[in-house]
Amino acid sequence: MSIPTQLKYTKSHEWVKPEADGTVTIGVTHHAQELLGDMVFVELPQVGRKLAQKEECAVAESVKAAADVYSPISGEVTAVNSGLESEPEKINQDAYSAWLFKLKPANAAELDGLLDAAAYAELLENEDH
């Protein structure tokens, strides 16, 4: 599975997509869903909630385990993908279209500190060894 080059990534396996309107869309990576296995439950943050960078803000649970999702940057939640609550398996089917929530960044400069696709690929490479 390729790692989309237009996205940014975190060490905790979230992906971040900067949108044209200045918001960012956030999900969990293909690698994360592969580690977790079949997803069975997703808990999303409240719209309007203000998140700090690296704050626990969502939970993705598979048949195997529960994983916390951390906000890659600080900001305010503007939308959540509530369809995932009834169809969490969409994360397994396509992790990069099954977004969890959108944020209005509090400090867009934080985006520059995230990993690009090459750096994320290197992180996965090192995890495997």
Partner 1 sequence: MLKMTPLNQTHRDMNAKMVDFGGWDMPLHYGSQLDEHHKVRQDAGMFDVSHMLPVDIKGNNVRDFLRQLVANNVDKLTLPGKALYSCMLTPQGGIIDDLIIYFLSETWFRIVVNAGTADKDVAWMLKQRDQLAPGLEITPRRDLAMIAVQGPHARAKVWQVIPGSQAATEELKLFQSTVVNQYFIARTGYTGEDGFEIILPAADAPAFWKALHAAGVAPAGLGARDTLRLEAGMNLYGQDMDETRNPLESGLSWTVDLKSERDFIGKQALLDTPVTQQLAGLILLDRGVLRSHQQVLAHLDGTEYQGEITSGGFSPTINQSIALARLPVQISIGDEVDVVVRDKKLRAKVVKYPFVRNGKVLI
82's tokens: 């509530």
Query: In 10 A of CB 11, how many CB atoms?
Result: 14
Q: Which is nearer to partner 1, 37 or 113 (CB)?
A: 37
87's tokens: 């169809």
Distances (CA, A) of 23 to 14, 34, 36, 43, 74: 16, 27, 28, 21, 12
Q: Does 94 bind partner 1 (CB under 8 A)?
A: no
Q: Which is nearer to partner 1, 7 or 100 (CB)?
A: 100
Least distance in angstroms from the C-beta of 29 to partner 1: 17
Q: Does 83 bind partner 1 (CB under 8 A)?
A: no
Least distance in angstroms from the C-beta of 36 to partner 1: 11
Nearest residue to 52 (alpha-carbon basis) of 94, 107, 96: 107
Q: Does 116 bind partner 1 (CB under 8 A)?
A: no
Per CB under 8 A, contacts with partner 1 among 17-76 are: 37-38, 40-41, 43, 59, 61, 63-64, 66
- The binding site for partner 1 (CB under 8 A) comprises 37-38, 40-41, 43, 59, 61, 63-64, 66, 85, 89, 92
